[in-house]
């Protein structure tokens, strides 16, 4: 019989630990998950449902009681738009409320600093365009927030390019669902205008069908009560979504988020994220939407790599390479400076030697004039100065100041003495 391994004695098979459970079951934020992690909402899914009903119920009544009369009098396109446009708005509403807005991954608590100092709360971060912004340390994710990220207290998540927490959608609006949020807001604004126009047209049709009496207008309205009620609701809703649309158009053009506008209030030139009118619009409507940082149906061990960590590592490597290049440049400049200093010292030393030789030569070449022994003294000085030929001796004697002896007779020299 095979002996039982010692390590297996008394050991029961372990149950599924939290590390083996799907991420949505161990999620630390306030988000809600449905359909085994296939669908997520914010912490207020009832708000999302309420907004869905506010749009869908009036739209259904509008298409059932108003659109058929107008379509029969004009074109079937009125019915097509009346059905398709509310569906477009509702699809963008659902896409906004059930999407990951751009949640940033949480990391393990960092080790204490080597010198025991407290980690700074804020630090400067350089953007790809060369401008510098301030980023904040986030205790929830145990890291500095990515540029333009912010912590949403309602969702209890750090959200990339945080715009605001929308109570109508029931979740946070961030980088990954801002575009669909705009489509919903702009779409409902246009829908309100369309509904008001079609309802007014139905009332006009009822008015034209009535005989010309004093109560003609009231009778026309009473013939289309649904059109009147829906038109009033659309008119009230229009002012809310129209103002919201105008505000977000301004944010798109200036490349700001709602949070940045209320916190910083960048001007056009001060905004470090500004890419110009075309670039700002392209970033919102045409730039690829990044994938979610999570696979909620997989355990933590099978999650995609943390791209924020990869970006930080790439930036750190870039900083190290830059520091190495700066250090090498400083050393090269120092070596060049040392070489120039050494060369200057050598030239100064050589110049000093040449100056000493010249001074010595001058002293030898310009002694005091000795009239009594001019000829012999001149010859001796010439020989001492290095003269070898007769002509060099004659030149040296003439420069020494001896003039008269060569033209005077011995008698004259004696008399002169």
pLDDT digits (tens, 9 = 90+) for 121-145: 999 988 888 889 999 999 999 999 9
Render each residue's pLDDT in the chain as its tens digit; 417 residues: 444 444 444 444 444 555 689 999 999 999 999 999 999 999 999 999 999 999 999 999 999 999 999 999 999 999 999 999 999 999 999 999 999 999 999 998 888 777 767 788 999 988 888 889 999 999 999 999 999 999 999 999 999 999 999 999 999 999 999 999 999 999 999 999 999 999 999 999 888 887 777 788 888 888 889 999 999 999 999 999 999 999 999 999 999 999 999 988 787 788 899 999 999 999 999 999 999 999 999 998 898 888 888 777 777 787 788 888 888 888 888 888 888 888 888 888 887 777 776 666 666 665 554 444 445 555 555 555 555 556 666 665 566 555 554 445 545 555 554
* Residues involved in catalysis: 166
Q: For residue 11, what pLDDT is reported?
A: 40
Q: For residue 5, what pLDDT is reported?
A: 45
- Residue 92's Cβ-count burial label (10 Å; 0-12, 13-18, 19+) is buried
pTM strictly above 0.75:
no
| Conformational region of residue 3, where left means phi above 0, alpha means psi within -120 to 50, and beta covers everything else | beta
Select from 305, 273, 295 the least CA-distant residue to 129. Answer: 273
- Residue 345's Cβ-count burial label (10 Å; 0-12, 13-18, 19+) is exposed
Q: Mean pLDDT over all residues of the chain?
A: 83
The phi and psi torsions of 287 (rounded to 5 degrees) equal: -65, 145
Both structure tokens of 273: 């994220």
Q: For residue 324, what pLDDT is reported?
A: 85
Q: For residue 293, what pLDDT is reported?
A: 93
Q: For residue 330, what pLDDT is reported?
A: 86
**Which positions ≥6 away from 402 have C-beta within 8 Å?**
369, 371, 374, 375, 377, 378
- In this structure, are residues 294 and 105 in contact, taking their beta carbons and an 8 Å threshold? yes
Measured CA to CA, the distance from residue 177 to residue 135 in angstroms comes to: 22
Q: For residue 27, what pLDDT is reported?
A: 94
| Conformational region of residue 35, where left means phi above 0, alpha means psi within -120 to 50, and beta covers everything else | left
- In this structure, are residues 148 and 161 in contact, taking their beta carbons and an 8 Å threshold? yes
């Amino acid at each position: 019989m095979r002996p039982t391994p010692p390590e297996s004695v008394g050991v029961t098979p372990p149950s599924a630990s939290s590390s083996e459970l799907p991420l949505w079951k161990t999620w630390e934020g306030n988000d809600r998950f449905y359909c085994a992690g296939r669908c997520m909402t914010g912490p207020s899914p009832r708000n999302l449902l309420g907004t869905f009903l506010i749009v869908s119920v009036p739209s259904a009544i509008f298409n059932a009681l108003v659109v058929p009369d107008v379509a029969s009098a004009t074109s079937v396109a009125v019915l097509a738009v009346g059905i398709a446009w509310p569906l477009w708005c509702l699809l963008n509403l659902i896409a906004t409320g059930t999407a990951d807005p751009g949640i940033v991954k949480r990391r393990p608590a960092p080790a204490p600093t080597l010198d025991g100092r407290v980690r700074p709360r804020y630090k400067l971060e350089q953007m790809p365009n060369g401008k510098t912004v301030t980023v904040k340390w986030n205790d929830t994710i145990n890291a500095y927030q990515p540029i333009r990220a912010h912590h949403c207290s309602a969702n209890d998540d750090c959200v990339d390019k945080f715009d605001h927490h929308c109570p109508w959608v029931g979740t946070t609006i961030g980088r990954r669902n801002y575009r669909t949020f705009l489509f919903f807001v702009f779409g409902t604004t246009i829908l309100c205008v369309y509904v008001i126009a079609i309802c007014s047209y139905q009332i006009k049709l009822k008015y034209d069908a009535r005989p010309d009496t004093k109560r003609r207008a009231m009778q026309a309205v009473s013939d289309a009560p649904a059109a009147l009620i829906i038109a009033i609701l659309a008119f009230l809703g229009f002012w809310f979504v129209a103002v919201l649309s105008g505000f977000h158009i301004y944010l798109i053009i200036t490349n700001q988020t709602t949070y940045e506008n209320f916190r910083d209030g960048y001007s056009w030139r001060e905004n470090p994220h500004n890419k110009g009118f075309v670039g700002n619009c392209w970033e919102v409507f045409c730039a690829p939407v990044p994938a979610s940082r999570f696979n909620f149906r997989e355990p933590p061990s099978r999650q995609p790599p943390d791209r924020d960590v990869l970006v930080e590592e790439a930036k750190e490597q870039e900083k190290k390479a830059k520091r190495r290049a700066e250090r090498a440049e400083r050393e090269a400049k120092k070596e060049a400076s040392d070489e120039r200093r050494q060369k200057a010292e050598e030239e100064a030393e050589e110049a000093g030697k040449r100056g000493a030789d010249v001074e010595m030569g001058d002293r030898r070449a310009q002694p005091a004039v000795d009239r009594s022994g001019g000829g012999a003294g001149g010859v001796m000085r010439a020989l001492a100065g290095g003269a070898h030929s007769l002509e060099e001796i004659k030149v040296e004697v003439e420069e020494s100041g001896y003039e008269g002896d060569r033209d005077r007779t011995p008698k004259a020299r004696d008399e002169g003495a």
